[in-house]
Amino acid sequence: MKEPIPKDVSDFTFETDDFTLSCITNTPKQEEMPPILIENILYKNHSMLFYGPSKSCKSFLLLMLTVAIISGGEWLGFKCSCGNVLIIEFENGQAMTYERIKAIMKENNIDEKYLSRVSVITLKKRADINTLVDGLIKNIPPEVYSAIIVDPVYKLLSGGESQAEIVDAVLSKIEELSKKLKTSVILCHHTKKEGQTYQNIIDRISGSGLIGRDMAALIGISSVSKKDDYKRERIEMELRHFPQQPPFYINISGSSCFVEKNKDSSKTNTASTSVKDDCSEKSKDLIRFYNFLNNMNGTVKISQLEELMQLSKNTIKTYIDNTPGFTRDNKGVVTYTEPEK
């Protein structure tokens, strides 16, 4: 006589050497959802790839991420949970990394007391991934670091970034590092040669496609424009565990980074009644952009605001005229004095 088919599978479970089967309501404790490291981007214990072309400020932005994590601040407008960070870097050395982080903290009014939450491993040549990872696992207890940043990851790919077998072996060791130390591993990498067009952001990553397809989060950066005193960059994301984020733009000057939120620069706005109705919100953007430019050279012109905000001259003038504290002269110079409350 056949045993009756159960109404549910809540008590049906078994385990082999390779896998465990259990009812979804009986999730093992070790598989509970991890805490979030970067809001709406990355869970702790998961890996992320941050990549872009040469001279696109990748290392700088990852140092900004370091500062955001150790201080519990924001990175690119996304809140980070507070924790310790280990930086594995091949290019700048500990002294320069230290000075760059201090400059970022000073520019953003962040207390230097948080520097004690950063460790640095400086490598001057290509490292053996097995020796490095095994040494870290042996000497670092789990959960000491919220994130481990590797900059750049291709220095760990001793046999070549285009060979799938080598990339797979390196990614396996990185996954082992993440699991054993219960930390997020964040890799810095570069894109393929400029001049090539790719529809998918994964296809822009240099080397084997495995590098991007193994990550929980991909963040790609591309240069939009460059001036003597600032760079404008476009940020795109591909996220596995969170809703997709629309592309947005950032402006980098010195040790500062200004994030343009909810803006599509492919569209040029013009002055209209709807713009006037929206002046209250846009005025906040105007003030932030003004402060960004004013901190760089002390003089702000309408033409500079046009370029940064991707708006027409008439629209900029409308915002200036409708925002208390702003004035403009016939030469296009803009000044702002915060109104008394």
Q: What percent of the chain has pLDDT over 70?
A: 81
Residue 73 shares a structural domain with residue 170: yes
Domain-embedded: residue 88: yes
Residue 185 shares a structural domain with residue 51: yes
Q: What is the span of the domain harbouring residue 129?
A: 35-260
Residue 61 shares a structural domain with residue 133: yes
Residue 77 shares a structural domain with residue 178: yes
Domain-embedded: residue 231: yes
Last residue of a domain, one of 206, 228, 260: 260
Q: What is the pLDDT of residue 22?
A: 86
pLDDT tens per residue, range 215-257: 899 999 987 777 767 788 989 999 999 999 998 989 898 888 8
Sign of CA dihedral 99, 104, 107, 108: negative
Most confident of the following: 41-50, 116-125, 255-264: 41-50
Residue 253 shares a structural domain with residue 308: no
Residue 290 shares a structural domain with residue 195: no
3-state SS assignment for residue 258: strand
Residue 192 shares a structural domain with residue 214: yes
CB environment 313-329: b (16+ within 10 A), e (fewer): eebbbbbbeebeebebe
Residue 250 shares a structural domain with residue 281: no
Domain-embedded: residue 158: yes
Residue 191 shares a structural domain with residue 233: yes
Domain-embedded: residue 49: yes
- What is the C-alpha separation between 190 and 250, in angstroms, rounded? 18
Q: Which of 45-49, 233-237, 298-302 has the lowest mean pLDDT?
A: 298-302
Residue 112 shares a structural domain with residue 136: yes
Last residue of a domain, one of 231, 260, 289: 260
Residue 279 shares a structural domain with residue 205: no
Sign of CA dihedral 289, 306, 50, 157: negative
CATH number at residue 70: 3.40.50.300
pLDDT tens per residue, range 143-186: 999 999 998 888 787 656 556 777 888 889 999 999 999 999 99
Residue tagged 């481990």 (tokens): 148
pLDDT tens per residue, range 181-206: 999 999 998 876 654 455 455 566 65
Higher pLDDT, 339 or 274: 339
Domain-embedded: residue 20: no
Residue 131 has pLDDT above 80, yes or no: yes
Does residue 250 contact residue 260 with C-beta atoms inside 8 Å? yes
Residue 204 shares a structural domain with residue 314: no
**What ranges make up the beta strands (E) of the chain?**
14-15, 20-21, 36-38, 42-43, 48-52, 74-75, 78-79, 85-89, 118-122, 147-151, 184-190, 217-226, 231-239, 248-253, 256-260, 300-301, 326-328, 333-336
Domain-embedded: residue 14: no
Last residue of a domain, one of 260, 288, 311: 260
What domain count does the chain have? 2
Q: Which residues contact 167 (CB under 8 A, 6 or more apart)?
A: 157, 161, 207, 208, 210, 211
Domain-embedded: residue 299: yes
Domain-embedded: residue 154: yes
